[in-house]
Amino acid sequence: MKTHFLSLIERLTLEEIELLNYLISKEATNRFTAQTKKEIFSDFNLTEAKFRKILCRLEAMNFIEIVAGSRDHFVYANEYGMEVIQKVYERSNV
């Protein structure tokens, strides 16, 4: 299972890692502190299509959760997303 998790990490793009890191730096790690898609999109210099693709891939890999609100959708990094950033930092410090 560990090798599968590490292979998923290796397949992440720089933008996907940046978005996970952004969520963690904003402390968006549970549904109560989640950021809206609009807030996140406004802080990134990406096209809307690229932004949606990144969110879709991260959600499919189970690194983020998307919570539907009354008007906005909220996004946060779950425990696996936080572990991804931890592994990336560990590898960069080796």
Q: Which residue has the higher pLDDT, 37 or 91?
A: 37
Please give the DSSP secondary-structure letter assigned to residue 12.
-
Domains and CATH numbers, the chain: 2-92 (1.10.10.10)
**Residues linked to residue 73 through DSSP beta bridges, in sequence order:** 68
* pLDDT tens-digit series, residues 16-53: 999 999 999 999 999 999 999 999 999 999 999 999 99
Distance from C-alpha of 5 to C-alpha of 3, rounded to nearest angstrom:
5
Q: What is the pLDDT of residue 1?
A: 64
Q: What is the pLDDT of residue 69?
A: 75
* pLDDT tens-digit series, residues 48-74: 999 999 999 999 999 999 998 778 899
Contacts by 19-25, CB closer than 8 A, 24 or more apart: 19/44, 19/54, 19/55, 19/58, 20/58, 20/63, 20/64, 20/77, 20/81, 20/84, 20/85, 21/85, 23/64, 23/75, 23/76, 23/77, 23/81, 24/77, 24/81, 24/82, 24/85
Please give the DSSP secondary-structure letter assigned to residue 46.
-
Q: What is the pLDDT of residue 26?
A: 96
